Structure 1
């Protein structure tokens, strides 16, 4: 018996649906292709920039006794960056904790410089004893202007004061400090750099940091709009958000991220938001005279070192380090932040160019090699 197979004639409805599905599939494939191409192109250019030979700074035949902050994380990555960089620029580096007998060790080792980070746990009488023996001393302050109630009690005990906040310079000079210099932190490229391979977890928008009240109040009106995108927030206190329950699946609450995880998050994001803390928040600050904050935070340089577009709130000193619209983007209101987020998520080429410009500027001007060289040039001209 022969069996005849009859071909079913496709109906117009099936034909239209099939065409739409096929077209959508092709559009998705094309978008994926272009997205992958763009990502590979940017990573390739970023790798070229990051792989260029770094500037060679003078090597000094001297001994630096470096006293760490003693505070652990999140200060320990700063200690690591400074100590590692010092080792590339001076002949000998000794690293000790503030609880050790600093004066006794300095008198015994006779270093050319005793350098302390933060200094909150560093007894003033120890520094006085070091200076009495003719050894130069310097302090690099980490949190100006937020803890000036405490830093004003210690800065006069050092030969050189370096602060990341330019607005603190007049205050310290009024106290009698002769050598006060603005020296912000930087990007330690051992931690923060472009990754050659994409992260398996991709983000459109990232914010990493503590939920200080000024951040909560600023972001709350637009949080719903931001969360409509592939947005992730990391840090403590974000359950302060009025509608935290709606967004908690996109918030990694109370997670302290080390440099490696933070850099990976920056690399995997199209946009990273930087919103500085307020100098007027008495719930966390010790800044009774309300010295205003005008200088960029360390995160400014670390984000830029990962070849990622940074949207930062405007600060007076920011233009000394990056050119807005060329190497960074700024905002002054929640609405402006939201508008720029929407714009750069749909203008890929412009977003990538700014990110790459930021990377180039950071690797050229804003690494710890730059900062340590500047510090040593001031102390040992």
Structure 2
């Protein structure tokens, strides 16, 4: 080691050493992050490579009436169409803007399956049934538009709803065949990215969706703390946040993200927040009965299918689908929310184990293949 000639030279050498030490620490952190991400992707790859359950193909012709409402409903239309095509011998797809009764007469399907059905008249539905065709509806937005659905459900042979609390409501209206059937996930769209995510896309926390007022009220008091992390918002109405001008560089406002882009954002995040909309927000809902929502939204399954840790508010029926603390993380208050955010951002192993358990559960139990097969098993026992 060369002899130090002066205090100035000693300080320079010390500064160089400190810089070298800092560089080593940065390299070590990058190596550790790369190893942890590679471990997560490797485990995820093994999970999704497991052979899926194979369902029998039924000798049926399904006339599927898509929602016709565009995004964000169109990915659900596509998912159900593709799944039906793998489970029955013939599928004909039309949208709700055409004459369904005429199409049924021409095609003679075994089932007329309607998604959403909000824009189809009761007279049209009655004509289809009078001609002897079996009908079913899969409702997309229960309980938020129950004022509209309660005027239509009696005109179907089978009613499928993604909200548990609507089952008894529809039965009380005289519907004989009502079933609880949440949506699932299309794994062609929502899956773990097996290559490492580019560093420019990585974020600590994501929230993708609309800035409903209940979300604004929940986040507003804790937003400064939340934004200390690398947090990104995507969706409409987030300019309702009083702090929007401060954080707008972290908020992609007014953009609907398709499934592939959404899945990429989930994969780039360590934690994805799922804060369900409120059932009693009269500014956007048509739910004058104020039917509470107990069931998880479709986003619940989509986040979990990407191998990312999900933090969700605790809905009553969530435990039917994921075990809190093992397959999903739930929170009960803003303080609980912040404490769990901090914990899982600093405990990599715990975060990964929950994310991988949710991924495995989703691919096993919560795909559209499972859901549509269940629907067909009910209609055609």
Q: Conserved in 1, the CA contact under 8 Å of 2:61 and 2:89? A: yes
Q: What's the TM-score, normalizing by structure 1?
A: 0.97
Q: 2:73 — aligned with what?
A: 75
Alignment equivalent of 2:59, drawn from 45, 53, 61: 61
Q: Would the aligned equivalents of 2:215 and 2:277 in 1 still touch at CA under 8 Å?
A: yes
Give me the whole-angstrom Cα distance separating, in 2, the residues matched to 1:118 and 1:13: 72
Q: TM-score, normalised by structure 2?
A: 0.97
Unaligned runs of 5+ in 1: 1-5
The question of 1:104 aligning with 2:124 is answered no
1:261 partnered with 2:255: no
Contact 1:271 1:311 in 2 (8 A): yes
The aligned runs of 1:1-381 (5 Å cut-off) are: 11-200=9-198, 201-381=201-381
Deviation at 1:125, TM superposition (A): 1.7
Residue 14 of structure 1 deviates from its aligned partner by: 2.1
The separation in 2 between residues aligned to 1:290 and 1:334, in whole angstroms, is 24
- SS of the equivalent of 2:63 reads strand
Q: How many angstroms apart in 2 are the aligned matches of 1:96 and 1:229?
A: 46
For 1:313 and 1:186, locate their aligned partners in 2 and report how far apart those are by CA, in whole Å.
19
- d(CA) in 1 for partners of 2:121, 2:56: 32
State the secondary structure of the residue aligned to 2:97: coil
Deviation at 1:8, TM superposition (A): 6.2
CA–CA distance in structure 2, aligned partners of residues 132 and 169 of structure 1: 25
CA distance in 1, matches of 2:35, 2:51: 27
Output one character per residue of 1:110-162: Cα deviation in whole Å (capped at 9) or x when no partner. Answer: 11100000001122222211111221110000000000000001000000000
The whole-number CA distance in structure 1 between the counterparts of 2:4 and 2:282 is: 79
The structural deviation recorded for 1:108 is 1.7
Contact 2:4 2:10 in 1 (8 A): no
Rounded to whole Å, the distance in 2 between the matches of 1:280 and 1:123 is 26
Between 1:349-358 and 1:7-16, the stretch displaced more is: 7-16
Unaligned runs of 5+ in 2: none
d(CA) in 1 for partners of 2:303 and 2:5?
A: 59
What SS is found at the alignment partner of 1:299?
Answer: helix
| Equivalent-residue separation in structure 2 for 1:89 and 1:104 (angstroms) | 25
* Residues in 1 aligned to 2:32 and 2:122: alpha-carbon distance in whole angstroms: 60
Residues of 2 paired with 1:370 and 1:154: CA distance? 26
Mapped to 2, the partners of 1:56 and 1:63 lie a distance apart of 20
- Is contact 2:327–2:355 with CA below 8 Å preserved after alignment? yes
> Could you give the per-residue CA deviations for residues 206-265 of structure 1, whole angstroms, max 9, x where no partner exists?
000000000000011111111111110001111100111111110001011111110000
1:3 alignment counterpart? none
